Amino acid sequence: MPQMATGGPRRRERPGSSSGGAHGRQGDLQDQPQGVAVADAVAPTPVSIRLVHAAAPGRARLHIDALVESNQVQRFLERTLPAIGGVSGAAASPLTGNLLVHYDPATPLEAIIGRIIELLQSGIGPSDDDSRDKKGWHHLDTEAVATDLATSRTRGLSEDEARERLVAAGSNALPALPTRSNLGIFLAQFDSVPVALLAGAAVVSLVTGALLEVGAILAVMGVNAAIGYRTETGTERIIQSLNLPAPQAARVIRDGDPHEVAAETLVPGDVLMLERGMVVPADARLSAVRGLTVSEAGLTGESMPVRKSDAPVAVTLPLAERTSMVYRGTVVTGGSGTAIVVATGARTEIGRVQQLVGATLAPQTPMQRQMGELGRQLGWLTLYAGGLIVGIGWLRGIALYQAARSALSLVVAAVPEGLPVLAVTTLALGVEDLRRRNILVRRLEAVEPMAAVQVACFDKTGTLTFGRMSVEVAVCGDQIYQAGEGSRLDGHDDAVAHPNGNDCLRRLLTIGCLCSEAEVEADEGDSILNGSATEKALVQAAIDSEIDVAALRRGFPKVSLQQRTETYRFMASAHANNGRLLLAVKGSPLEVLDRCRWEGLAGGGRRPLTPERRDRIEGINAELADRALRVLGFAYRDVGDETQDEPAVAELTWVGLAGLADPVRPGLKSLMAELHRAGLQTIILTGDQRATARAVAHKVGLNGTGDIDIVDAVDVDRMTEAELAVAARRAQAFSRVGPAQKLKIIRALQQSGATVAMIGDGINDSPALRAADVGIALGRDPYAAARETADVYLATDDLGGLIPAIERGRTTFTNIRKAIHYLFSTNFSEVLVMLCGMAVGLGEVLSPMQLLWINLISDVLPGLGLAMEPPEAAGMQDGPMVADKALPGVQNLASLTSEAALLGSGAMAAGLYGAMRYGTASPIVRTMTFGALVTAQLLHAITCRSSTRSVFDRGSSPANPALTGILAGSVAAQSAALFVPGIRRLLGLAPLGILDAGIMLAGGTLPFAIAEVRKSALSASTSHASAPLTFTRAPMAPANESRPRLLEAPANVSWLRPHGAK
């Protein structure tokens, strides 16, 4: 681990260490093995950090002495700083000692610098006996690793040895992140600008001798803290549940045989079997690889899959370049291999990062940061207004004591105590609502970008389709075989088919069974298949054609297997064959065809593959793809030398094509139409051919009834990022794209300014899922990499969950704005009433006690009620929200002042009426002002439910039981304040006559009526201009219809697929 020269006392002295100068310390540091966290503090001098410049908002350049000539410090800072709340990235230079930090401008730079100093002084890291760092596993060869860990590369550990090591090493489980304690949550309720203002008001009241007001202020603070505590503890439980890991299994070799074990039981020395699509369960040193690629985005930030090797690499290489290692939490995107486990649990790299995360502050969501900024704005506004009150009082000759009390009342009036808890509570409520619909959100902040999604990118296989394939048609030479009911292929039940036999179709199916990882298990006479959807379909077709798959595989034992990769879009397997090797190949038709020199004949033998035959095969391939079939090509080669474990995939003999159907999920046309009405662009990203992409796009209505604009992978590679961004905003489908190209498309869309959601299965799509603003995965497999990569997980395997997820995101975004709008307008109305009362000579029209009561029943609780507002009927037709749109605040002062003035005018009118009738000193004046203002504010919560729909419009808004209950409770409390003598005396109120009560109610209801009539009139004047959101696509040249249809003749042969086949 890197040892950093940091400030503070010496924590631990290592043997042989020196306490010399900075140069000596840096020399020691450079000699240490690499790691991801800092360890012991060994320098007595403080950390030296100097600000170079911070001219651009959100960017700061710092100079750190400890960074000079230290690659370890560089890597530590670049990997750990993004875990700090408010920091989005960092770039460090050991040459200059400068650190460039990208951060949220709302986060004080001083706080970030302080956090960097804490990290450098924290001593976070493993103990000195960490064998992984001393060994440098990536630098050792596999035999040395196996020897050091007392294991075998081929046989692994014994079961007994694994159990003993599990007891010694402990469970392969990551340490739980520290959670907020109940006490911490309660104390946090008092850590905000609004609450600080209330505390200041209590101090002023104490100094002036108003002990009753002190008690009332403290009581209100306590009640608000209790509400916040109750809400946040529930929210914290929801947030913690999002971090629960999915159950995971691992395949290992023990006692020489493959076993599937719980990932938590892995121990150092276990031999992992790595396969495409699995999440790596522990840190391991690779011992054998076959085209292995791994996505390490979650650990290193490198979105592109990394090609792995079992060869040792230099000991000085950073984590991202250790190609001989795989790390826990990364995803195998291609190929296969084996690896020796070298670290488990907290000793893994991701475990160290998690320990570091536990020591850093949890980052706030963008909305929480905006809420903090609003609180600061409110604090300054309150101070200005308080000074204004004192100034007006001085001009009117009011005593300083009375002016101070009025300023105190203003502070109390201006404080929206519910503001700090509002954002996180509303987000948590959205997450909980989605969970009840089996839509699992893994990050609280993922709810926010759901509201702004403009482009939805879909994987095809397993996402738009079921991922359950069946062979529909096969073409061998001039023969066409169509799947159907009622007929069976002719064949020899007791024969083992061979590609050199005289049955062309059996030859194709034989290759499909041999070049396959699908496993066949017998269960009471039935065959149960395990494997990928494509391979299961091919094996099932062979079983239906009465091929004995088990006997076939015994006759041709597998020697080696080359997995499909991004570079080679085919699979090849070598099989022993009576002293020779049989190479079986299946994959992308054009790529397999390019490697063929011969074409097999139906009666046996072969002939040269002529250009004419190539053209015909390519034409048939295109027609099959036009039917929305997934098309595979099949070929083979006899190899004379059995000692060639991995013969070259060349000089092949072409066998034929198979078209597999993967049924499109039902309801996709209506889903796409609804997404389009909601203002989203929809795109397919598929590895299939252009014709298949076009057919599927038409089936699901990706562009309604319009033409489908398709961009091929070849064109993607040729385009610049700017050109790709333009093409992506016009296209409906991308064909033949791999994981790297999907990632490139997502990034191009984001560079164009779009907010992007990626919907996929988490294997080939894992880089794109992680790079997208929102990654969404389906729930077909609880062990899939999707769950480890995506932000949102549709557990029901139903894409229809996209609509409520987007709707909830938009509703949450809208509700928070409604609640903040309500809080600001109502609190500002109290400020205006106090200012106007002072200006017109009424003095302190509302006492601090009365203002505290108003805030208690018409502030926090109605705001939370608005946060639980159900979706508006037109919410999905209004289009995506603007990403990073500012919340209502000081920048909306004009509109907020207008609403506050309307609310306060009724209360002031009622108060002036009372003053004219009873005199300015009468308590009835305060009572009428108080009652009218409370009535207006409670009714204003109903106004804030919709900015366009009036209560006088025909049709009603969806019911909001929570808000209704809150308002009913507030009305009951207000009635008690007006009519119960004890409460009335406590608040300084007076009983009212019928006329005075009627004037008071009129002053409270008239603002509501005016606001609703104004909404109704505005809605009527703008309704004629409303139009549905539509997309305009660039015209596309019509498809070439002159190509001859090669498959229009009736099929020659068909095979039976029995009902109930598994």
| 886 shares its domain with 982 | yes
Cα atoms in the Cβ-side hemisphere of radius 13 Å centred on 291: 20
Last residue of a domain, one of 661, 696, 723: 661
Output 365 or 686, whichever has higher pLDDT: 686
**80, pLDDT greater than 50:** yes
Q: Is 28 inside a domain boundary?
A: yes
Q: Which amino acid, residue 803?
A: I
Based on the fold, state whether residues 506 and 651 are members of the same structural domain. yes
DSSP output for 244-270: PPPP-EEEEEETTEEEEEEGGG--TT-
Burial of 611: CB neighbours in 10 Å, binned 0-12, 13-18, 19+:
exposed
Same domain, 253 and 336: yes
Inside any domain, residue 367 = no
| pLDDT band, residue 965 (cuts 50/70/90) | very high
- Checking 224-230 for CB contacts under 8 A at 24+ apart, the result is 224/189, 224/195, 224/417, 224/418, 224/856, 224/860, 225/186, 225/189, 225/190, 227/418, 227/421, 227/860, 227/861, 227/864, 228/189, 228/418, 228/420, 228/421, 229/182, 229/185, 229/186, 229/189
Give CA–CA dist 887/126, Å, rounded: 43
Q: How many residues in the chain? A: 1062
> Helix 419-436 to helix 860-867 angle, to the nearest 10 degrees?
30
What average pLDDT score do residues 284-292 get? Answer: 90
> Does 296 lie in the same domain as 154?
yes
Over residues 105-112, mean pLDDT: 80
Q: pLDDT band at residue 192, thresholds of 50, 70 and 90?
A: low
1045 or 158, greater pLDDT: 158
- CATH code, domain with 769: 3.40.50.1000
Q: What is the mean pLDDT of residues 286-307?
A: 75
Identify whether residues 461 and 476 lie together within a single domain. Answer: no
Average pLDDT over residues 413-421: 62
Do 208 and 390 form a contact (C-beta atoms < 8 A)?
no
Q: Are residues 52 and 158 in the same domain?
A: no
pLDDT above 70 for 1047: no
Is 122's pLDDT higher than 60?
no
**How many whole angstroms separate alpha carbon 741 and alpha carbon 739?**
5
Residue 511 lies in a domain: yes
Percent helix, percent strand, percent coil in the chain, to nearest 5: 45, 15, 35
Mean pLDDT taken over the chain: 76
263 and 303 together in one domain: yes
pLDDT score of 560 more than 50: yes
Angle at 194 between CA 189 and CA 197, to 5 degrees: 115
- Residue 81 in domain: yes
Whether 851 is in a domain gets the answer: yes
pLDDT tens profile 900-944: 899 999 999 999 999 999 988 889 999 999 999 999 999 999 998
Of 599, 632, 661, the one marking the end of a domain is 661
Among 178-192, 586-600, 678-692, the least confident range: 178-192
Report which of residues 444 and 434 the model is more confident about.
434
Residue 502 has pLDDT above 50, yes or no: no
Q: Which residue has the higher pLDDT, 29 or 244?
A: 244
Q: Is residue 866 part of a domain?
A: yes
Average pLDDT rounded to a whole number, residues 373-395: 73
Q: How confident is the model at residue 1020 (pLDDT cuts 50, 70, 90)?
A: low
The average pLDDT across 86-110 equals: 81
- pTM here is 0.62
Q: Is the dihedral of CA 623, 626, 628, 633 positive or negative?
A: positive
Three-state SS for 126? coil
Say yes or no: 461 and 606 in one domain. Answer: no
| Residue 108 and residue 139 in one domain | no
Do residues 650 and 684 share a domain?
Answer: no
DSSP 531: S
pLDDT tens digits, 162-180: 999 998 888 888 766 556 6
Model confidence band, residue 884 (pLDDT cutoffs 50, 70, 90) = low
Kindly tell me if the per-residue pLDDT of 121 is higher than 50. Answer: yes
- In a shared domain, residues 712 and 849: no
- pLDDT number for residue 109: 84
Of 134-138, 325-329, 563-567, 632-636, which one has max mean pLDDT? 632-636
Mean pLDDT of the 209-235 span: 70
H or E segment at 771? helix 766-771
Last residue within a domain, chosen from 337, 359, 381: 359
Query: What is the predicted pLDDT for the residue at 131?
Result: 39
Using pLDDT thresholds of 50, 70 and 90, give the confidence band for residue 193: low
pLDDT at site 819: 85
Whether 922 and 914 have beta carbons less than 8 Å apart is answered as: yes
Under DSSP, the state recorded for 421 is H
The structure tokens listed for 503 are 């049955």
Residue 823 belongs to a domain with what CATH number? 1.20.1110.10
pLDDT digits (tens, 9 = 90+) for 1000-1017: 999 999 999 998 888 877
Structural domain count, the chain? 5
Is the pLDDT at 17 greater than 70? The verdict is no
pLDDT at 499: 43
For 773, the domain range is 439-466+664-795
For residue 618, what are the contacts with CB-CB under 8 A and spacing of at least 6? 589, 590, 593
State mean pLDDT over 802-830: 85
Please indicate, yes or no, whether residues 838 and 963 belong to a single structural domain of this protein: yes
Confidence of residue 598 (pLDDT cuts 50, 70, 90): very high
Q: Is the pLDDT of residue 276 over 90?
A: no
477 inside domain: yes
Supply the CATH number for residue 541's domain: 3.40.1110.10
Q: What is the pLDDT of residue 58?
A: 83
Shortest CA distance to 336 belongs to which of 249, 277, 296, 295?
Answer: 277
First CA to last CA distance, the chain: 52
Flag whether pLDDT at 4 surpasses 50.
no
Q: What is the pLDDT of residues 690-728, one digit of tens each?
A: 888 888 888 888 877 678 889 988 888 888 888 998 999
Lowest mean pLDDT among 18-22, 442-446, 937-941: 18-22
Instruction: Dig out the tokens for 794 from the structure.
Output: 């549709």
Question: Residue 996: its pLDDT value, please?
Answer: 93
Q: In this structure, is residue 501 part of a structural domain?
A: yes
